[in-house]
A and B are shown apart, each in its own frame.
Chain A
């Protein structure tokens, strides 16, 4: 059982480049989300989706786009990479959004912007 799969695991970009971080889950979860993790700041929510075709902004959405065309996939797009977007990115999923539902996380994508 794969759970939540994130690709790539590592990526180095130059300022101004664009890229897509992939996230796929095989648990038929409705709720999916993207976080970034920076030292001492825990996890901050970028975007989330409560189901296919529905997305919404989180705490730090600027510079990122998302779409949810299927239940399984929730890609995160960086439109024009900036050094401030250097971070570790985590995708998570859960059966639904209720605060008592466990969030299942991928192993992260480590992104460096030069």
Chain B
């Protein structure tokens, strides 16, 4: 079973601060996705990365896939209260038809 560990589990910051959350594994993934989930709703896809070393930017969010495709990070610049939510990473390998999710990072941005 492939495992994805996310850190930190919880993060509370003030509006305007920068932050980075991490998604790590000892396994290699063919692709990795980041989702955001708000209370009472299902996760919504933010980005997919497929190439080792790939960097993608989505407004104030920057996603990076590790060179060895075993880890990923999400950096948020100048966090806003609207960024509050649960951030989940999910990876897939070339074998099988399953997506493995990490435990999530719960982010609270205080105004």
When A and B form their complex, what is the total count of cross-chain residue pairs whose Cβ atoms lie within 8 Å? Answer: 70
Size of the chain A interface, CB-CB below 8 angstroms: 27
Q: Which residues of A contact B30 (CB under 8 A)?
A: 99
A40 interface neighbour in B44, B45, B103, Cβ under 8 Å: B103
Cβ of A43 under 8 Å from chain B:
yes
CA distance A40 to B98 in the complex (A): 20
Q: How many Å from the CB of B50 to the closest CB on chain A?
A: 5
- A107-B42, A108-B42 as given contacts; A102 in contact with B99, CB under 8 Å: no
Flag B58-100 by CB within 8 Å of A: 1 or 0 each.
0000000000000000000000000000001011110001111
Cβ of B40 under 8 Å from chain A:
yes
CA distance A31 to B92 in the complex (A): 14
Cβ of A95 under 8 Å from chain B:
no
CA distance A44 to B44 in the complex (A): 16
Mostly, the B contact residues are loop
Size of the chain B interface, CB-CB below 8 angstroms: 31
Q: How many Å from the CB of B91 to the closest CB on chain A?
A: 7
Other contacts beyond A99-B91, A105-B43: 8, CB < 8 A: A35-B101, A42-B104, A43-B101, A58-B98, A99-B99, A106-B42, A107-B41, A108-B41
CA distance A45 to B101 in the complex (A): 9
Q: How many Å from the CB of B28 to the closest CB on chain A?
A: 12
Residue of A nearest to B40 (CB): A107
Residue of A nearest to B30 (CB): A99
